[in-house]
């Protein structure tokens, strides 16, 4: 047999770890090349990881619910089940990557450090170095702690605990505790002392479950993402997509001076245009919604006002701040999922025909609902639309996605008494809202853009003829 270990790949720039949500294979299963083997959630999305080799599953190193660092082995695959080679024991990298000396500096090539040459592209971004990386040893004033790496076939050797004298006897020093940096941070956030906790991980290392079990009122083991009930209150850990969204929204809200304008629009003609599309032979199998018309209106208006499709770059290293105008549109569509709000985008949406745009929007929404949106699909957005009308809401004041200068909110379409051609008639009416970065877009530009979006929705055929 020939057993190869498959490491957790880099699922996006800046991501250092992922949680194993679900194993799609079991030990002993025969798998094919590129067959999905595991679903992993990062701070950006939940993604399925394909097999790097065909063969038989020999070992699964981490159970579901485990946080695993990028570059650590997650599964071993026997690529030659009929062979006779001996199966190796798990490498040292598959054991706990511990930081005995606390927050020591990280060498180039390690997660969290610089990214020199020798890294390989995997899925999105760049993976760990192909050569084995080592942590830089750190010397303390009293003693030096070292991690003893296991060598096949000898069993792993746990490091000796360092003790200090105290009035109540001897106890381990914090530096001798085996725990990953994320676990240490979790302990600090929860006010948990790692010293004295019996670790359940490899080499006796302390895991997230160990910390959470100590912090919970009953002291029972708690799943990493499980809510904790305390009396009539409930604590829900913030992580993954929800954590990243919260950080981005806070950064955006307190960085960009946001202004929001509103426009109520008669969209009766747009709704009739959609009905005509549905009746055409080439469109009978296509799901058509009002979002398509709003997206088309925004793309036409962005072509007329390209400054809206831009981003602000702050001064850096003495260089002046600048506005980056993007002559392409990666159209983001905000989508509510079970894991939180995500904003995947349609790449180069401005270059698509109306039918291509409809297909792209349908595929984007379907993928988001299935929870399979990739990190790549959520990066590089230039302009976003969020629809609150599906919830029966009229409008709102959306926060700008990081790196974008404007976001359009689309409210519910309602039958409303409306003055049309001098008479009060029941028309289909909606309210649009545009939030924009006032450093880039002043009131005049924002108003003109929103006006053009509304004009297109009021008369899509006439607007296309007049502006093309």
Tell me how far apart the alpha carbons of residues 388 and 385 are, in angstroms, rounded to a whole number.
10
The Cα angle at residue 378 between residues 120 and 49, in degrees rounded to 5: 45
Instruction: Give the single-character DSSP code of 224.
Output: T
Half-sphere exposure of 400 (CA within 13 A, CB side): 30
pLDDT in tens, 391-432: 999 999 999 988 899 999 999 999 999 999 999 999 999 999
pLDDT at 353: 94
User: Mind telling me the catalytic residues?
Assistant: 438
pLDDT at 320: 84
Residue spans in the chain of domains classed CATH 4.10.320.10: 163-237
> Which residue shows structure tokens 């997660």?
111
pLDDT at 396: 94
pLDDT at 120: 39
Q: What's the chain's length in residues?
A: 468
Task: Give the pTM.
Answer: 0.58
Tell me how far apart the alpha carbons of residues 453 and 408 are, in angstroms, rounded to a whole number.
10
C-beta pairs of 277-286 under 8 Å, 24+ apart in sequence: 282/355, 283/355, 283/358, 286/355, 286/358, 286/359, 286/362
- Give me Rg for the CA atoms of the chain: 27
CATH topology of domain 163-237: Dihydrolipoamide Transferase (4.10.320)
Contact in structure between 404 and 382 (CB atoms under 8 Å): yes
The Cα angle at residue 301 between residues 450 and 443, in degrees rounded to 5: 35
pLDDT at 311: 93
Contacts of 204 by beta carbon, 8 Å cutoff, 6+ apart: 158, 178, 198
pLDDT at 215: 58
Q: Which helix (H) or strand (E) holds 188?
A: helix 181-190
| Residue 18 CA from chain centroid, whole number | 10
Ranges under pLDDT 70 in the chain: 12-14, 43-44, 83-176, 181-182, 185, 189, 214-226, 240-241
Domain 3-94 carries which CATH code? 2.40.50.100
Which option is the CATH number for 242-467: 2.40.110.10, 2.40.50.140, 3.30.565.10, 3.30.559.10? 3.30.559.10
Residue spans in the chain of domains classed CATH 3.30.559.10: 242-467
Residue spans in the chain of domains classed CATH 2.40.50.100: 3-94
Tell me how far apart the alpha carbons of residues 199 and 222 are, in angstroms, rounded to a whole number.
14
């Amino acid at each position: 047999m020939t057993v190869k270990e498959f490491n957790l790949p880099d699922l996006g720039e800046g991501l250092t770890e992922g949680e194993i949500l679900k194993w799609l294979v079991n030990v002993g299963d025969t798998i094919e090349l590129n067959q999905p083997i595991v679903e992993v959630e990062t701070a950006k999305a939940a993604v399925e990881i394909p097999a790097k080799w065909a063969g038989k599953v020999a070992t699964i190193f981490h159970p579901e619910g485990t946080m695993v660092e990028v570059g650590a082995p997650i599964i071993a695959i026997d690529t030659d089940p009929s062979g006779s080679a001996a199966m190796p024991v798990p490498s040292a990298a598959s054991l706990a990557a511990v930081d005995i000396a606390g927050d020591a500096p990280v060498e180039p090539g390690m997660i969290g450090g610089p990214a020199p040459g020798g890294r390989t592209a995997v899925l999105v971004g760049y993976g760990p170095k192909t050569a084995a990386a080592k942590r830089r040893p750190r010397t303390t004033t009293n003693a030096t702690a070292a991690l003893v790496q296991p060598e096949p076939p000898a069993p792993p050797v746990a490091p000796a605990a360092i003790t200090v004298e105290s009035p109540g006897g001897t106890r381990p020093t914090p530096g001798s505790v085996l725990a990953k940096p994320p676990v240490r941070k979790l302990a600090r956030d929860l006010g948990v002392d790692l010293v004295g906790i019996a670790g359940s991980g490899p080499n006796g290392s302390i895991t997230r479950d160990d910390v959470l079990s100590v912090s919970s009122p009953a002291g029972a083991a708690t799943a990493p993402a499980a809510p904790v009930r305390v009396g009539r209150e409930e604590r829900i850990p913030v992580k993954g997509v929800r954590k990243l969204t919260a950080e981005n929204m806070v950064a955006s809200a307190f960085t960009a001076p946001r202004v929001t304008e509103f426009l109520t629009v008669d969209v009766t003609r747009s709704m009739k245009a959609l009905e005509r599309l549905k009746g055409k032979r080439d469109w009978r199998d296509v799901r058509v919604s009002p979002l398509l018309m709003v997206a088309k209106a925004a793309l036409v208006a962005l072509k007329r006002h390209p400054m809206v499709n831009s981003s602000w770059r702050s001064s850096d290293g003495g260089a002046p701040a600048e506005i980056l105008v993007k002559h392409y549109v990666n159209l983001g569509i905000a989508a509510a999922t079970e894991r939180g709000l995500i904003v995947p985008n349609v790449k180069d949406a401005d270059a698509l025909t109306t039918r291509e745009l409809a297909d792209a929007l349908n595929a984007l929404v379907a993928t988001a609902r299935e929870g399979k949106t990739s990190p790549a699909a959520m990066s590089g957005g230039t302009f976003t639309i969020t629809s609150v009308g599906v919830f029966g809401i009229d409008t709102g004041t959306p926060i700008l996605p990081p790196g974008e200068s404007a976001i359009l909110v689309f409210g519910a379409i309602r039958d409303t008494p409306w003055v049309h051609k001098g008479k009060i008639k029941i028309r289909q009416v909606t309210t649009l809202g545009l939030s924009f970065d006032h450093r880039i877009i002043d009131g005049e530009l924002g108003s003109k853009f929103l006006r053009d979006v509304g004009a297109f929705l009021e008369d899509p055929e006439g607007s296309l003829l007049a502006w093309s």
